[in-house]
Amino acid sequence: MGTELQYSINCNGRLMDLDVPRVMGILNVTPDSFYAESRKQTEKDIMERTRQMVEEGAHIIDIGACSTRPGADCPDEKEEIRRLRIALQPLRKAYPDVVVSVDTFRASVARMCVEEYNADIINDISGGQFDNEMFDTVAQLGVPYILTHTKGTPDHMQDHPHYNDLMHELLTYFAEKVQQLRDRGQKDIIIDPGFGFGKSLDHNYLLLQKMEQLKLLELPVLVGCSRKRMIYNLLGITPEQSLNGTSVVNTIALTKGANILRVHDVKAAKECIDIYCKTISSIADKD
């Protein structure tokens, strides 16, 4: 339901069906993520946030220990691992069956999270561009990989990004990267068009408008627009005021073929999916 193609991913031996769109809840174990309410650094706060997202219907918990907002200062590898251990150890003990994604661009960090804590998915905002060992590593680990389109690095990616043809560049990028991954034996690949990563406000809305073109790649699509600049700058508000705008963008993304919504607000995203799926089901029944 919700897409013309049917997808599933293998999460440590458990198949997750993506025919019905899924919610990925964001767990930031950083001191500087752009949305202050998402920052959780103590074990107590981390577990409370996880419990809330699970109870609200999150299908995946995405843990990030290195902020990739434009202009962010990135911690070194040792600090990123320290932060992730604080989250992963109690989370895995309390919620052993929850599907866990780790948001990292470092191959060594990805390996640690999978081998020591059975992380199910690796979410790499760099598409393998920041660590040339990432593609080999995820293929060896055998976990699903989220391949993101990013133009530039977080400290400069919003400095006047330019495209001659946005969708052509994205499709070419993904086709080349997917082939590189397939050549290494990577099985499950999810593509993330990278809203806000090296894209102006107009680029982001053009991407949203034409997102269905990504179906040409015949891979599941993740959309992460939650409380981002493309919403709050357009509306002249703050990230804290951007839930309604996020729900609107997420609903549009669902109509364009999104299989996973990566969000700060799980309950609202789940409601978007439930209403969208009911609408699609009603249309199908009528036909």
Average pLDDT along the chain, 287 residues, taken 10 residues at a time = 73 95 94 53 88 97 84 83 94 95 98 98 96 98 97 68 95 98 98 95 97 97 97 97 98 98 98 96 72
**Residue 187 designated active-site:** no
Render pLDDT for 188-242 as a digit per residue (tens, 0 to 9).
999 999 999 999 999 999 999 999 999 999 999 999 999 999 999 999 999 999 9
Secondary structure E strands in 189-234: 189-192, 222-223
Residue 283's pLDDT is: 76
- Quote the CA–CA distance of 61 and 262 in Å, as a whole number: 9
Q: How many CB atoms lie within 10 A of CB 196?
A: 23
Contact predicate 188/182, CB 8 Å: no
Mean pLDDT of the chain: 91
Residue 281's pLDDT is: 87
pTM of the complete model: 0.93
Nearest-CA neighbor of 99 among 66, 68, 122?
122
Nearest-CA neighbor of 254 among 7, 10, 17, 23?
23
Q: Exactly one of 22, 228, 256, 270 is catalytic; which is it?
A: 228
Residue 35's pLDDT is: 47
Residue 155's pLDDT is: 62
Give burial (CB, 10 Å; 0-12/13-18/19+) of 96.
exposed
Q: Exactly one of 49, 177, 262, 270 is catalytic; which is it?
A: 262
Give the percent of the chain with pLDDT over 90.
82
**Residue 262 designated active-site:** yes
CA distances, 263 to each of 32, 108, 127, 214 (Å)? 17, 26, 20, 20
Residue 105's pLDDT is: 96
Residue 3's pLDDT is: 44
Domains along the chain with CATH numbers = 19-286 (3.20.20.20)
